[in-house]
């Protein structure tokens, strides 16, 4: 009983790293049946649409996708495909784990997860200018929107995630001292939700600027962090930096009816087609997808294989100061999986 899932090769280094994912998943006895569909610049060139209807249809059917990075053309007024997917499938939770894989870096033994509200806040796109004295852009205004229902939904997701993944603590990150209504509502609601998990999950709160400092001074105090859209966006890249950058960072975008897994990095056009791409982030996104479908053992098996390869000097791609090619890296992971 294999699970249908949409697989999007994407642009730039996308097809190279997706090829590794396909081969590695085959070695794991792939629990998924891939439906391959296009999105991004390559789709625009082939079918005139960055996000073809056939790709959307596939995700509507499967409710599950693994996505290579997509190039959003600059100019021409194209909206980001990632944002369109988020809205189309109401992917309200963005999950960004950060875990030390290569020991001996600036920070060792980091293991935390940031959960970001993905649809509300200051990213709703309600912006406008106010002209004064002939200057059309004299004043810029943006409206942030947080709702009780949206705040409850993301808080509940974070606490349920903590329970499911044997985490101990959830930190609610806000700026309720200044943005009293916008993030005060989020804080108040998240605290209400936390009461349902009392005795099971510890809860605390941090103001976002203090949290940013604490993440640098003592990141080990954190376990699961939940925050609003803008703060979550910034802190999620910060925690990726704690563990060696975007090349190793997976992400998940999760809604009620669909979930899309991806590497956090982009299509890296500067190294596309050269066999220099590190497929780790997308492979780790695949591990998140296995967990999402409750295949925790398979996810752990995959992660151990990746860790084992990266722990050797020969198993490092260009971005990590090594010289192993993308496909050879894949072969090494497959060797570990086959034991």
- Is 123 in the active site? yes
For the bound state, the minimum distance from the C-beta of residue 281 to ligand NAI, rounded and expressed in Å, comes to: 6
Residue 262 or 298 having the CB closest to ligand NAI:
262
- Is 223 in the active site? no
For the bound state, the minimum distance from the C-beta of residue 312 to ligand NAI, rounded and expressed in Å, comes to: 18
185 contacts which partner out of Mg ion, ligand NAI, none, CB within 5 to 8 A by kind?
none
Is 120 a binding residue for Mg ion by CB under 5 A? The answer is no
319 contacts which partner out of ligand NAI, Mg ion, none, CB within 5 to 8 A by kind?
ligand NAI
72 contacts which partner out of ligand NAI, Mg ion, none, CB within 5 to 8 A by kind?
ligand NAI
Residue 71 or 94 having the CB closest to ligand NAI:
71
For the bound state, the minimum distance from the C-beta of residue 237 to Mg ion, rounded and expressed in Å, comes to: 6
Greatest Cα pair distance, the chain, in angstroms, is 72
Q: Rounded to 5 degrees, what angle do the CA atoms 247, 250, 256 make?
A: 155
Is the CA virtual torsion 182, 186, 189, 195 positive or negative? Answer: negative
Q: How many residues does the chain have?
A: 339
Asked if 336 and 24 touch (Cβ cutoff 8 Å), the reply is no
- Is 67 in the active site? no
Place of tokens 């920070």: 107
Which residues contribute to the site for ligand NAI (CB under 6 A)? 13, 69-72, 82, 246-247, 262, 265-271, 277-278, 281, 319
For the bound state, the minimum distance from the C-beta of residue 248 to ligand NAI, rounded and expressed in Å, comes to: 8
Q: What are phi and psi of 3, to 5 degrees?
A: -100, 120
Selected catalytic residue, list 11, 67, 123, 197: 123
How many Å apart are CA 22 and CA 24, to the nearest integer? 6
Asked if 71 and 269 touch (Cβ cutoff 8 Å), the reply is yes
Determine the 3-state secondary structure of 263 from DSSP: strand
For the bound state, the minimum distance from the C-beta of residue 33 to ligand NAI, rounded and expressed in Å, comes to: 23
How many Å apart are CA 332 and CA 323, to the nearest integer? 13
336 contacts which partner out of ligand NAI, Mg ion, none, CB within 5 to 8 A by kind?
none
Selected catalytic residue, list 67, 161, 233, 307: 233
Residue 72 or 203 having the CB closest to ligand NAI:
72
Selected catalytic residue, list 26, 108, 196, 209: 209
User: In Å, how far from its chain's centre is CA 170?
Assistant: 18
For the bound state, the minimum distance from the C-beta of residue 104 to Mg ion, rounded and expressed in Å, comes to: 27
Residue 22 or 233 having the CB closest to Mg ion:
233
- Is 237 in the active site? yes
- Is 197 in the active site? no
233 contacts which partner out of ligand NAI, Mg ion, none, CB within 5 to 8 A by kind?
Mg ion
82 contacts which partner out of Mg ion, ligand NAI, none, CB within 5 to 8 A by kind?
ligand NAI
Q: Which residues of 197-214 are buried (b: 16+ CB within 10 A; e: fewer)?
A: beeebebebbbbeebbee
Asked if 63 and 259 touch (Cβ cutoff 8 Å), the reply is yes
Asked if 110 and 223 touch (Cβ cutoff 8 Å), the reply is no
Residue number of the CB closest to Mg ion reads 233
Per-residue DSSP letters for 121-187? EEEEEEEEEEEETTEEEEEEEEEEE--HHHHHHHHHHHHHHHHHTT--EEEEEE-TTTSTTHHHHHH
**Binding string, 221-260, against Mg ion, x = CB under 5 A?**
------------x---------------------------
Q: Rounded to 5 degrees, what angle do the CA atoms 179, 182, 184 make?
A: 75
Selected catalytic residue, list 11, 67, 156, 175: 175
For the bound state, the minimum distance from the C-beta of residue 75 to Mg ion, rounded and expressed in Å, comes to: 21
Selected catalytic residue, list 19, 49, 160, 237: 237
Active site residues: 123, 175, 209, 233, 237
Binding site for Mg ion (CB under 5 A): 233
């Amino acid at each position: 009983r294999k699970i249908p899932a949409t697989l999007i090769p994407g642009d730039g280094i996308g097809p190279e790293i997706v090829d590794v994912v396909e081969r590695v998943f085959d070695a794991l006895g792939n629990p998924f049946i891939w439906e391959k569909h296009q999105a991004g610049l390559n789709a625009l060139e082939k079918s005139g649409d960055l996000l073809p209807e056939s790709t959307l249809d596939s995700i509507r059917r499967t409710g599950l996708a693994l996505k290579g990075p997509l190039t959003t053309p600059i100019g021409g007024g194209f909206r980001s495909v990632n944002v369109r997917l988020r809205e189309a499938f109401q992917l309200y939770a963005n999950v960004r784990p950060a875990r030390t894989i290569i020991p001996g870096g600036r920070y060792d033994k980091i293991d935390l997860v940031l959960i970001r509200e993905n649809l509300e806040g200051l990213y709703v796109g309600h912006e406008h200018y106010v002209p004064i004295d002939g200057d059309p852009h004299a004043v810029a205004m943006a409206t942030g929107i947080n709702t009780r229902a949206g705040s409850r939904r993301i808080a509940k997701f974070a606490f349920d995630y903590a329970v499911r993944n044997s985490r101990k603590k959830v930190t609610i990150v806000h700026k309720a001292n200044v943005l009293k209504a916008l993030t005060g509502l989020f804080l108040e609601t998240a605290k209400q939700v936390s009461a349902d998990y009392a005795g099971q999950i510890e809860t605390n709160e941090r103001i976002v600027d203090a949290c940013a400092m604490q993440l640098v001074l003592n990141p080990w105090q954190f376990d699961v962090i939940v925050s609003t859209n803008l703060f979550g966006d910034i802190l999620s890249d910060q925690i990726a930096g704690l563990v060696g950058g975007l090349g190793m960072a997976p992400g998940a975008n999760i809604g009620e009816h669909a979930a899309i897994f991806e590497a956090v990095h982009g299509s890296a056009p500067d190294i596309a087609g050269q066999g220099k791409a590190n497929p780790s982030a997308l492979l780790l996104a695949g591990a998140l997808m296995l967990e999402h479908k409750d295949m925790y053992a398979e996810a752990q098996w995959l992660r151990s294989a990746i860790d084992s390869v990266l722990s050797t000097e020969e198993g490092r791609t260009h971005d990590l100061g090594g010289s192993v090619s993308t496909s050879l890296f894949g072969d090494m992971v497959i060797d570990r999986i086959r034991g």
